[in-house]
Structure 1
Amino acid sequence: MTDPIVVGVDGSGRSLRALVWAAHEATLRQCPLRIIHVLPLFHSYATAEEERAQEARNWDHGVVDEATAIVQEAHPDLEVTSALPSGTPAAVLLAEAENAHTVVLGAKGMGGFGSLLIGSVAMQVVGHAASPVVIVNHVPTGHGRIVVGADGSAHSRAALAYAFEQASLRGAPLHAVHAWSHPGPHAYVSAAQDAMAKEQRQALEEWLAPLREEYPDVEVVEQLPDEPPVIALARASDRADLMVVGSRGLGGFHGLALGSVSHHLLQFSQCPLAVIRPRA
């Protein structure tokens, strides 16, 4: 059986945007969609007053029923299943990720602090999931491009492979961004700096070469901005339908689940963000 696209729903607005994105993704990939609404461990209908317990039951089932109805109306041929498991949301979704093609979540669910753009559940799932994770905050349309960050790390290579697949699937051009900075003052341009720029472009071309051969239908635009990766990628996200990054790059400590670039982009990306790690 084809691995499903798993989407977590909780009745929030961002959860709905994640659901819409996940349903479209499942339709493109012709794979099932699995809708998950997690019941917290402390949620016990039996210990509540009967009337309040019934209201809680109705609300929880209503979240899933509404999500299912929205998807079935928009994608009547899509195979949709749902579940209401009990547990901590992050643990449940990480378990789902073991058998998922992709896990899709809203950037922040219900109950989060208003000033935070990324919720704790999404952060934990992104940091530890076995599958790709897509975090949906804004859902732009019409840009018609996929953006991927590249730095030569193993996580970046996995991100490139995922991004090429997405671009091919969607018939969209792929913008490969390799951001780097001159070690000296920008006002001073030397032959050594020119040589370094050529080396960086050659490295990017080498990373892209095998995937260009595998996906000859994908138009690739190479971008080598002379600025920090977070700034370059956050700016590029404003003109993209999907941003793809590795969970961490070359500069991070190996014990870290997320690198600084992916961590910051979870806060500042202006489009859905796919965070990828190499499959074990």
Structure 2
Amino acid sequence: MADPIVVGVDGSGRSLRALVWAAREAALRQRALRIVHVLPPAHVYASTPEGRAWEESHRDQGVVEEAVAIAQEAHPGLEVAPVLVSGTPAAVLLAEAEHAHTMVLGAKGTGGFGGLLLGSVALQVVGHSTSPVVIVNHVSSGHRRVVVGADGSAHSDAALEYAFEVASLTGAQLQAVHAWSHPGPPAAVSTAQDALRQEQRQALKGWLAPLRERHPEVEVVEELPDDGPIVALARASDRADLLVVGSRGLGGFRGLALGSVSHHLLQFSQCPLAVVRPRVR
């Protein structure tokens, strides 16, 4: 069975946006949608088994049932699997990610684990997930553009592969951004700087070449802004339906779960953000 699209829900508005995005992705990829609602520890709702049972049947089950109804109404025929499970949110979601094509989470929520999604839970899931994680903050559509960051690292290669796949499925233009900076102050005319820019452009073409060959249907635009990657990618996300980055890049440190660029873009991306790492299966 193909790996499903998994989405975490908690009943909040941002959770709903993540659900809508995930359902569309599942329908587009012809994969099942797995809707996961994590139950907090029993003492959060009630101190007795009876009170806990009442809360689960009236509140938690309602969250999942509503999510299933929304997904199936938007995409009739979509295979949907509701999951209501107790546990530590990050641990539950990471376990789900092991068998997911993509994990989808809202940027924030109200109550439950959702309120932590820009804090420890989000960082743990994004930083350690074995599958790509999409954080849905600002939902944008109609740009028909996927933006991807490229720097030649293994994580960047995984991001490029994911971005080409999305662009191919959606018919979107792919904007490949390789942000770089001159080693010294820019000059109006400089042979050395021109040579360095050409070197960086050729490097980008090399990273893109095998994927362009596999996906000739994808229109690719190369961007080499003389700027920091966080600023360049955040700016490009304002005109995109999806921003894709590797979990770490060439500037990362060994042992860190999440690089500086992907970490900051969790806050600054103006469209859904996909964080991808090389998958070992």
- Tell me the TM-score range normalised by the shorter chain: over 0.9
The one-letter code matched in structure 1 to 2:71 is V
The one-letter code matched in structure 1 to 2:154 is A
Q: Unpaired runs of 5+ in structure 2?
A: none
SS of residue matched to 1:147: strand
Q: Does 1:200 align with 2:200?
A: yes
Paired residues of 1:178 and 1:204 also in contact (CA < 8 A): yes
Distance 2:203 2:16 in 1: 40
Distance 1:113 1:181 in 2: 39
Shift of 1:112: 8.4
Paired residues of 1:45 and 1:54 also in contact (CA < 8 A): no
Paired residues of 2:5 and 2:104 also in contact (CA < 8 A): yes
Distance 1:46 1:217 in 2: 56
What per-residue deviation string (whole Å, max 9, x for no partner) do you get for residues 89-139 of structure 1? Answer: 110010001111010000122238999882421221000000010000010
Structure 1 residues 44, 181: CA separation in 2 closer, same or farther (over 3 Å shift)? closer
Shift of 1:52: 6.9
SS of residue matched to 2:86: coil
- Could you tell which deviates more after superposition, 79-88 or 51-60? 51-60
Structure 1 residues 210, 49: CA separation in 2 closer, same or farther (over 3 Å shift)? closer
SS of residue matched to 1:91: helix
What are the equivalent positions in structure 2 for 1:1-280 lying under 5 Å apart? 1-43=1-43, 47-48=47-48, 50=50, 53-111=53-111, 118-280=118-280
Distance 1:56 1:228 in 2: 47
TM-score computed with the length of structure 2 as normaliser: 0.95
Shift of 1:85: 1.0
Distance 1:48 1:82 in 2: 26
SS of residue matched to 2:85: coil
Shift of 1:48: 2.7
SS of residue matched to 2:108: coil
Deviation >6 Å, runs of 4+: 112-117
Structure 1 residues 269, 45: CA separation in 2 closer, same or farther (over 3 Å shift)? closer
Shift of 1:54: 1.4
What per-residue deviation string (whole Å, max 9, x for no partner) do you get for residues 151-175 of structure 1? Answer: 0000000000000000000011100
Distance 1:181 1:223 in 2: 13
SS of residue matched to 1:85: strand
The one-letter code matched in structure 1 to 2:111 is G
Let me know the Cα RMSD of the aligned residues: 2.1
SS of residue matched to 1:105: strand
Shift of 1:46: 7.7
SS of residue matched to 1:72: helix
Distance 1:164 1:244 in 2: 10
Paired residues of 2:19 and 2:67 also in contact (CA < 8 A): yes
Distance 2:179 2:233 in 1: 8
SS of residue matched to 1:233: helix
Paired residues of 2:106 and 2:117 also in contact (CA < 8 A): no
- Could you tell which deviates more after superposition, 181-190 or 42-51? 42-51
What per-residue deviation string (whole Å, max 9, x for no partner) do you get for residues 170-190 of structure 1? Answer: 011100000000111124531
Shift of 1:50: 4.0
TM-score computed with the length of structure 1 as normaliser: 0.95
Q: Unpaired runs of 5+ in structure 1?
A: none
Figure out how many residues of one structure are paired with residues of the other and give that number: 280
Shift of 1:141: 1.1
